[in-house]
Protein backbone atom coordinates (compact mmCIF):
# COMPACT_ATOMS: atom_id res chain seq x y z
CA UNK A 1 0.00 0.00 0.00
CA UNK A 2 1.47 3.36 -1.03
CA UNK A 3 1.15 6.52 1.02
CA UNK A 4 0.38 9.71 -0.85
CA UNK A 5 2.78 12.54 -0.06
CA UNK A 6 1.33 15.92 0.94
CA UNK A 7 1.35 18.49 -1.88
CA UNK A 8 4.35 20.78 -1.77
CA UNK A 9 2.10 23.81 -2.19
CA UNK A 10 0.09 22.92 0.90
CA UNK A 11 3.29 22.44 2.90
CA UNK A 12 4.67 25.80 1.80
CA UNK A 13 1.39 27.50 2.65
CA UNK A 14 1.43 25.93 6.12
CA UNK A 15 4.98 27.15 6.75
CA UNK A 16 4.11 30.63 5.49
CA UNK A 17 1.15 30.83 7.86
CA UNK A 18 3.26 29.49 10.69
CA UNK A 19 5.69 32.33 10.07
CA UNK A 20 2.74 34.76 10.05
CA UNK A 21 3.50 36.05 6.57
CA UNK A 22 1.01 37.00 3.88
CA UNK A 23 1.48 35.81 0.32
CA UNK A 24 2.49 39.35 -0.60
CA UNK A 25 5.06 39.50 2.23
CA UNK A 26 6.71 36.26 1.19
CA UNK A 27 6.55 37.06 -2.52
CA UNK A 28 8.30 40.39 -1.93
CA UNK A 29 11.00 38.81 0.23
CA UNK A 30 11.61 36.01 -2.28
CA UNK A 31 11.40 38.44 -5.23
CA UNK A 32 8.67 36.57 -7.07
CA UNK A 33 5.15 37.60 -8.01
CA UNK A 34 2.39 36.98 -5.50
CA UNK A 35 0.41 35.46 -8.39
CA UNK A 36 3.10 32.84 -8.96
CA UNK A 37 3.29 32.08 -5.23
CA UNK A 38 -0.49 31.68 -5.14
CA UNK A 39 -0.30 29.23 -8.06
CA UNK A 40 2.41 27.23 -6.27
CA UNK A 41 0.43 27.03 -3.03
CA UNK A 42 -2.77 25.93 -4.77
CA UNK A 43 -1.01 23.38 -6.95
CA UNK A 44 -1.68 25.20 -10.21
CA UNK A 45 2.07 25.63 -10.73
CA UNK A 46 4.81 23.11 -9.97
CA UNK A 47 7.78 24.85 -8.32
CA UNK A 48 11.30 24.19 -9.54
CA UNK A 49 13.87 22.79 -7.18
CA UNK A 50 15.47 26.24 -6.99
CA UNK A 51 12.12 27.81 -6.14
CA UNK A 52 11.52 25.32 -3.32
CA UNK A 53 14.94 26.13 -1.87
CA UNK A 54 14.45 29.90 -2.25
CA UNK A 55 11.12 29.87 -0.46
CA UNK A 56 12.54 27.55 2.21
CA UNK A 57 15.36 29.98 2.94
CA UNK A 58 13.04 32.97 3.26
CA UNK A 59 10.70 30.98 5.49
CA UNK A 60 13.65 29.81 7.62
CA UNK A 61 12.47 26.20 7.34
CA UNK A 62 14.67 23.62 9.14
CA UNK A 63 16.89 21.51 6.88
CA UNK A 64 15.00 18.32 7.73
CA UNK A 65 11.76 19.90 6.56
CA UNK A 66 13.41 21.34 3.46
CA UNK A 67 14.17 17.77 2.45
CA UNK A 68 10.49 16.92 2.98
CA UNK A 69 9.48 19.82 0.73
CA UNK A 70 11.87 18.68 -2.00
CA UNK A 71 10.50 15.14 -1.87
CA UNK A 72 6.92 16.44 -1.96
CA UNK A 73 7.84 18.45 -5.07
CA UNK A 74 9.31 15.37 -6.73
CA UNK A 75 12.99 16.10 -6.15
CA UNK A 76 15.69 14.22 -4.28
CA UNK A 77 16.58 15.49 -0.78
CA UNK A 78 19.92 17.29 -0.65
CA UNK A 79 20.71 17.60 3.04
CA UNK A 80 22.48 14.66 4.65
CA UNK A 81 21.70 13.33 8.12
CA UNK A 82 24.45 11.52 9.95
CA UNK A 83 25.15 10.50 13.51
CA UNK A 84 27.43 12.89 15.37
CA UNK A 85 29.81 9.91 15.66
CA UNK A 86 29.95 9.53 11.86
CA UNK A 87 33.55 9.89 10.57
CA UNK A 88 32.34 12.54 8.09
CA UNK A 89 31.27 14.71 11.02
CA UNK A 90 34.58 14.24 12.84
CA UNK A 91 35.46 17.93 12.57
CA UNK A 92 32.08 18.97 13.99
CA UNK A 93 32.37 16.45 16.82
CA UNK A 94 35.89 17.69 17.57
CA UNK A 95 34.60 21.27 17.86
CA UNK A 96 31.80 20.15 20.18
CA UNK A 97 34.21 18.22 22.41
CA UNK A 98 36.65 21.15 22.53
CA UNK A 99 33.90 23.54 23.60
CA UNK A 100 32.50 21.21 26.25
CA UNK A 101 35.91 20.35 27.69
CA UNK A 102 37.12 23.93 27.49
CA UNK A 103 34.11 25.09 29.49
CA UNK A 104 35.10 23.01 32.53
CA UNK A 105 34.85 23.35 35.49
CA UNK A 106 31.44 24.73 34.55
CA UNK A 107 28.74 22.46 33.10
CA UNK A 108 28.03 22.29 29.38
CA UNK A 109 26.22 19.78 27.17
CA UNK A 110 25.11 19.21 23.59
CA UNK A 111 21.50 18.36 22.71
CA UNK A 112 19.59 17.54 19.54
CA UNK A 113 16.27 18.98 18.33
CA UNK A 114 14.30 16.85 20.81
CA UNK A 115 16.55 17.82 23.75
CA UNK A 116 18.28 14.45 23.79
CA UNK A 117 21.71 14.76 25.39
CA UNK A 118 24.40 13.84 22.85
CA UNK A 119 27.48 14.80 24.86
CA UNK A 120 28.42 16.48 28.12
CA UNK A 121 31.50 17.47 30.05
CA UNK A 122 32.55 15.91 33.36
CA UNK A 123 30.94 18.57 35.52
CA UNK A 124 27.46 17.63 34.28
CA UNK A 125 27.86 14.06 35.53
CA UNK A 126 28.91 15.33 38.98
CA UNK A 127 25.87 17.57 39.29
CA UNK A 128 23.50 14.76 38.26
CA UNK A 129 24.43 12.62 41.27
CA UNK A 130 21.28 11.41 43.03
CA UNK A 131 19.00 11.58 39.98
CA UNK A 132 16.75 8.55 39.42
CA UNK A 133 18.60 5.91 37.40
CA UNK A 134 15.73 5.53 34.93
CA UNK A 135 16.12 9.16 33.86
CA UNK A 136 19.78 8.58 33.04
CA UNK A 137 19.17 5.64 30.71
CA UNK A 138 19.84 6.57 27.07
CA UNK A 139 18.37 8.41 25.34
CA UNK A 140 18.52 11.02 28.11
CA UNK A 141 16.10 13.90 27.64
CA UNK A 142 17.53 17.01 29.27
CA UNK A 143 14.21 18.77 29.89
CA UNK A 144 12.66 15.69 31.45
CA UNK A 145 15.80 15.20 33.53
CA UNK A 146 15.51 18.78 34.77
CA UNK A 147 11.79 19.04 35.55
CA UNK A 148 10.86 15.46 36.47
CA UNK A 149 10.16 14.98 40.21
CA UNK A 150 12.80 12.26 40.25
CA UNK A 151 15.29 14.46 38.43
CA UNK A 152 16.72 17.81 39.45
CA UNK A 153 13.41 19.55 40.16
CA UNK A 154 13.58 19.24 43.96
CA UNK A 155 17.11 20.68 43.95
CA UNK A 156 16.49 23.71 41.73
CA UNK A 157 16.28 26.70 44.06
CA UNK A 158 14.56 28.91 41.44
CA UNK A 159 12.38 26.15 39.99
CA UNK A 160 9.33 28.36 39.15
CA UNK A 161 11.52 30.75 37.16
CA UNK A 162 13.54 27.97 35.49
CA UNK A 163 10.46 25.92 34.64
CA UNK A 164 8.67 28.94 33.20
CA UNK A 165 11.63 29.75 30.96
CA UNK A 166 12.03 26.18 29.75
CA UNK A 167 8.34 25.71 28.95
CA UNK A 168 8.19 29.06 27.15
CA UNK A 169 11.20 28.10 25.06
CA UNK A 170 9.77 24.69 24.26
CA UNK A 171 6.42 26.23 23.41
CA UNK A 172 8.13 28.54 20.91
CA UNK A 173 9.92 25.59 19.37
CA UNK A 174 6.62 23.77 18.91
CA UNK A 175 5.09 26.84 17.29
CA UNK A 176 7.87 27.31 14.75
CA UNK A 177 8.57 23.64 14.00
CA UNK A 178 5.20 21.89 14.45
CA UNK A 179 7.24 18.92 15.71
CA UNK A 180 4.87 16.34 17.25
CA UNK A 181 7.61 14.91 19.47
CA UNK A 182 8.24 18.34 21.01
CA UNK A 183 4.49 18.91 21.38
CA UNK A 184 4.19 15.62 23.28
CA UNK A 185 7.18 16.53 25.45
CA UNK A 186 5.59 19.90 26.25
CA UNK A 187 2.40 18.18 27.38
CA UNK A 188 4.38 15.77 29.54
CA UNK A 189 6.43 18.47 31.25
CA UNK A 190 3.38 20.63 31.87
CA UNK A 191 1.65 17.64 33.48
CA UNK A 192 4.24 17.56 36.27
CA UNK A 193 2.45 20.55 37.75
CA UNK A 194 3.69 24.02 38.61
CA UNK A 195 5.73 24.40 41.81
CA UNK A 196 4.74 26.88 44.47
CA UNK A 197 6.11 30.36 43.95
CA UNK A 198 8.95 31.14 46.32
CA UNK A 199 8.07 34.82 46.55
CA UNK A 200 11.52 35.82 45.31
CA UNK A 201 11.53 38.27 42.43
CA UNK A 202 12.91 36.83 39.21
CA UNK A 203 15.96 38.55 37.79
CA UNK A 204 15.36 40.01 34.32
CA UNK A 205 18.28 39.44 31.95
CA UNK A 206 16.30 40.39 28.85
CA UNK A 207 16.12 36.79 27.58
CA UNK A 208 19.87 36.88 26.93
CA UNK A 209 20.66 34.37 29.68
CA UNK A 210 18.53 32.29 32.04
CA UNK A 211 19.35 32.05 35.77
CA UNK A 212 19.74 28.54 37.18
CA UNK A 213 20.32 27.84 40.87
CA UNK A 214 21.10 24.30 41.97
CA UNK A 215 21.11 23.22 45.61
CA UNK A 216 23.97 20.83 46.46
CA UNK A 217 25.53 19.43 49.63
CA UNK A 218 28.14 22.18 49.31
CA UNK A 219 25.62 25.01 48.95
CA UNK A 220 23.61 26.70 46.20
CA UNK A 221 25.44 26.93 42.88
CA UNK A 222 24.28 29.88 40.76
CA UNK A 223 24.59 29.88 36.98
CA UNK A 224 23.60 31.85 33.91
CA UNK A 225 22.53 29.58 31.04
CA UNK A 226 23.18 30.33 27.37
CA UNK A 227 22.57 28.45 24.11
CA UNK A 228 24.90 28.24 21.12
CA UNK A 229 23.96 26.91 17.67
CA UNK A 230 25.99 26.44 14.49
CA UNK A 231 25.51 29.36 12.10
CA UNK A 232 25.62 27.87 8.58
CA UNK A 233 25.30 24.09 8.78
CA UNK A 234 24.71 21.92 5.71
CA UNK A 235 24.10 18.71 7.62
CA UNK A 236 20.79 18.04 9.38
CA UNK A 237 22.44 16.72 12.54
CA UNK A 238 24.65 19.79 12.91
CA UNK A 239 21.78 22.17 12.09
CA UNK A 240 19.74 20.68 14.94
CA UNK A 241 22.59 20.68 17.44
CA UNK A 242 22.60 23.11 20.36
CA UNK A 243 25.24 23.65 23.02
CA UNK A 244 23.86 24.52 26.45
CA UNK A 245 26.51 26.25 28.57
CA UNK A 246 26.26 27.33 32.19
CA UNK A 247 28.42 30.21 33.45
CA UNK A 248 29.03 30.94 37.15
CA UNK A 249 26.99 33.82 38.54
CA UNK A 250 28.99 34.31 41.75
CA UNK A 251 32.39 33.66 43.31
CA UNK A 252 31.07 30.84 45.51
CA UNK A 253 30.07 28.85 42.42
CA UNK A 254 33.46 29.49 40.81
CA UNK A 255 35.39 28.32 43.87
CA UNK A 256 33.14 25.32 44.52
CA UNK A 257 33.26 23.96 40.98
CA UNK A 258 37.03 24.42 40.82
CA UNK A 259 37.35 22.31 43.96
CA UNK A 260 34.95 19.69 42.58
CA UNK A 261 36.89 19.32 39.34
CA UNK A 262 40.20 19.16 41.19
CA UNK A 263 38.74 16.29 43.20
CA UNK A 264 37.64 14.53 40.02
CA UNK A 265 41.10 14.96 38.45
CA UNK A 266 42.82 13.52 41.50
CA UNK A 267 40.88 10.24 41.39
pTM of structure: 0.80
> What is the per-residue burial (b if ≥16 Cβ within 10 Å, else e) of 117-131?
bbbbbebbebbbeeb
pLDDT tens for the chain, 267 residues: list them: 445 557 999 999 999 999 999 999 999 999 999 999 999 999 999 999 999 999 999 999 989 999 999 999 999 999 988 888 888 888 889 999 999 999 999 999 999 999 999 999 999 999 998 899 999 999 999 999 999 999 999 999 999 999 999 999 999 999 888 899 999 999 999 999 877 765 555 555 555 578 999 999 999 999 999 998 887 777 888 888 999 999 999 999 999 999 998 888 877
CA torsion sign for 97, 208, 255, 216 is negative
Judge whether 72 and 5 are in contact, CB under 8 Å: yes
pLDDT of residue 2: 44
Coil, strand or helix at 189? helix
Amino acid sequence: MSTQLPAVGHLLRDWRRRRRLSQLDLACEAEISSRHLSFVETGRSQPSREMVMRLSRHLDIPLRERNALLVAAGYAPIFKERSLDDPKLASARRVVDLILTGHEPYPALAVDRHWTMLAANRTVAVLLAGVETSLLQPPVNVLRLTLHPGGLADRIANLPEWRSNLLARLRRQVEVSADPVLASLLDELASYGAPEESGAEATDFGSVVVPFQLTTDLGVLSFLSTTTVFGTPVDITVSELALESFFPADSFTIDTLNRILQSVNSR
